[in-house]
């Protein structure tokens, strides 16, 4: 079998708030100095899901694909170290500044070009924009079934079984292969790679495809030109919070004062 993991490199979500800056004239996030971009955490979990199945089933090739800049090699290597077999970087100036649609389009074309893919694993959402669209987009464009926000994924007898996280519980869905799944953090932490694997991953060459490698794609369809979503304004929301200390002689008094304040504020 052949699995694909889609991995995105994002600005570090652990950037201290004071270092997070936005250029409002360009509608862009200004990279924080000295803070390197990281693999989106959900994509690491998607890789974990794929690797668990590989451990169980055995004969599986895993390709990790990332659409991004040269620096995204680090994210690909990280997944390779975890145990993926091949890396593929989709890099072209024309791909830059795209949206969820163009990303899904290029990724789906790449998966098509790989040919024999049985399952695609994505994170439930990228931890920077948190849109959660790309996985579904790939499924749509490839005309594959898709289950989102999975906490448990299994493949057997040509079928993928996904336990999905719902607001009030779980549901289990079964899909014929090939299929797409987006994986949530309930699945568990991504594994810590063995040193042997880290060193093997460091030696592996990551394949690179640019726009020219895709016969079906034109520059106008991808990147900034292909965007279907227009970004009107990017800004850090002002959060004004007031603190009120609730006075009272006793704990009971304070508690009842708190309750009446919460009722006034229509929280209770």
Partner 1 sequence: MLISEKNHRMNRNKEILYSIINFLNQYFFSFIFSTTFILVILSGLFLGIGIEQSTASRQIFFNVSPWPIYLLLSVLTGLLVFGVIRHGSLWAIGKPFNDWRINIPWRVQNTVRLGVMQDKVRRDKFASVMHWCISSSIIVLTFVTAQVAIEDDTPLHFLNGNYYLFFSFYGDLFGLIGLIGVSMALYRRYYDDFHRIRWDERVEDHLILWGLFIILISGFFVESYRISITELENFPEWAKWSFVSYVLAQFNGIFDFSEELLLNMHTISWWIHVLVVFFWLTLIVFTKLDHFLFAPINAFLLRTDSPGRLSRIENIEEQEVFGVGQIQDFNWKQLFELDACVRCGRCTEVCPANLAGQPLSPMHLIQDLKSHFNEVAPLVQEAGNNGDDVRAVASRSMVGEVIKEETLWACRTCGACVQECPVMIEHVPSIVDMRRFLVMDEAKIPQTAQAALENLEMRGHPWKGTALERTTWMEGLGDVPIFDGTQEFLYWVGCSGSLVERNLPITKKVFSLIQASGTSFGVLGQEETCNGDPARRLGNEYLYQILAEQLIDTFKQKNVQKVITNCPHCFNTFKNEYPQFDGKFEVLHHTQFLEQAINDGKLEPKKSVDLDITYHDSCYLGRINNEYDAPRNILKSIPGLNIIEMDRTMSKGLCCGAGGGNMWQEEIGARRVNHVRSEEAIDTGADELISNCPFCIQMFEDGIPSVEPNEDGRIKPFDIAEVLYHSIDSSQEDN
**219: Cα separation from own chain's centroid:** 24
Burial of 164 (0-12, 13-18, 19+ CB in 10 A): buried
Smallest distance from the beta carbon of 51 to partner 1, in angstroms? 12
Min dist. Cβ of residue 79 to partner 1 (A): 14
Number of residues that bind partner 1 (CB under 8 A): 21
Min. distance of Cβ 190 from partner 1 in angstroms? 9
36 lies in the site for partner 1, by CB under 8 A:
yes
Which residues, 198 to 217, sit near partner 1 by CB under 8 A? 198-199
CB of 182 to partner 1, least distance (A): 22
CB of 200 to partner 1, least distance (A): 11
CA-nearest of 100, 138, 96, 105 to 229 is 100
Instruction: State the Cα–Cα distance between residues 139 and 10, nearest whole angstrom.
Output: 22
Sequence-separated contacts (24+) of 51-54 with Cβ below 8 Å = 51/82, 51/83, 51/84, 51/191, 52/153, 53/3, 53/153, 53/154, 53/155, 54/3, 54/83
Would you say 81 or 179 has its CB closer to partner 1?
81
Q: Are 210 and 96 in contact (CB under 8 A)?
A: no
Q: Is 33 in the site for partner 1 (CB under 8 A)?
A: yes
As a whole number of Å, the CA-based R_g of the chain is: 22
Decide whether 123 or 226 has the Cβ nearer to partner 1: 123
The correct pick among 2, 12, 208, 258 for binding partner 1 (CB under 8 A) is 12
Looking only at residues 98 through 117 of this chain, which bind partner 1 when binding is defined by CB under 8 A?
A: none
Within 13 Å of residue 66, how many CA atoms lie on the same side as its CB? 30
Q: Which is nearer to partner 1, 190 or 226 (CB)?
A: 190
Instruction: Work out how close the CB of 39 gets to partner 1 at its nearest, in angstroms, rounded to a whole number.
Output: 9
Q: Which of 5, 38, 65, 155 binds partner 1 (CB under 8 A)?
A: 38
**Residues 13-32 contacting partner 1, CB under 8 A:** 14, 16-19
Nearest by Cα to 26 from 235, 219, 241, 169: 235
Tell me how far, at minimum, the Cβ of 18 lies from partner 1, in Å. 6
x/- map, 153-192, partner 1, by CB under 8 A:
------------------------------------x-xx
Please pick, from the candidates 195, 245, 265, 267, the single residue that binds partner 1 as defined by CB under 8 A.
195
Strands, E assignment, the chain: 2-6, 9-10, 21-23, 28-30, 38-39, 61-67, 86-90, 119-123, 146-156, 159-166, 169-176, 179-183, 207-209
- Interface residue list for partner 1 (CB under 8 A): 12, 14, 16-19, 33-36, 38, 189, 191-199
């Amino acid at each position: 079998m052949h699995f694909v993991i889609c991995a995105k490199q994002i600005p570090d979500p652990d950037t201290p708030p004071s270092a997070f800056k936005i250029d409002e004239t360009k509608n862009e996030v200004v990279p924080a100095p000295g803070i390197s971009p990281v693999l989106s955490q959900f994509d690491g979990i998607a890789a974990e899901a794929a690797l668990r199945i590989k451990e169980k089933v055995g004969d599986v090739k895993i390709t990790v694909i990332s659409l991004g800049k040269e620096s995204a090699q680090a994210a690909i290597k990280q997944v390779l170290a975890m145990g993926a077999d091949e890396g593929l970087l989709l890099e072209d100036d024309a791909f830059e500044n795209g949206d969820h649609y163009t990303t899904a389009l290029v990724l789906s074309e790449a998966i098509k070009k790989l040919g024999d893919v049985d399952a695609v694993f994505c994170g439930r959402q990228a931890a920077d924009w948190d849109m959660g669209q790309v996985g579904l987009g790939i499924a749509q464009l490839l005309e594959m079934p898709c289950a989102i926000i999975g906490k448990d994924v299994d493949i057997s007898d040509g079928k993928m079984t996904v336990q999905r996280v719902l607001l009030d519980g779980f549901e289990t869905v079964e899909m014929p292969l090939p299929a797409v799944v987006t994986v949530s953090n309930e699945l568990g932490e991504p594994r810590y790679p063995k040193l042997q694997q880290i060193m093997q991953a460091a030696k592996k060459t990551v394949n690179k495809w640019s726009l020219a490698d895709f016969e079906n794609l034109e520059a106008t369809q991808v990147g900034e030109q292909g965007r279907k979503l227009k970004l009107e304004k990017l800004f850090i929301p002002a959060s004004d919070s007031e603190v009120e200390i609730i006075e009272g002689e006793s704990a009971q008094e304070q508690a009842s004062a708190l309750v009446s304040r919460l009722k006034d504020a229509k929280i209770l």
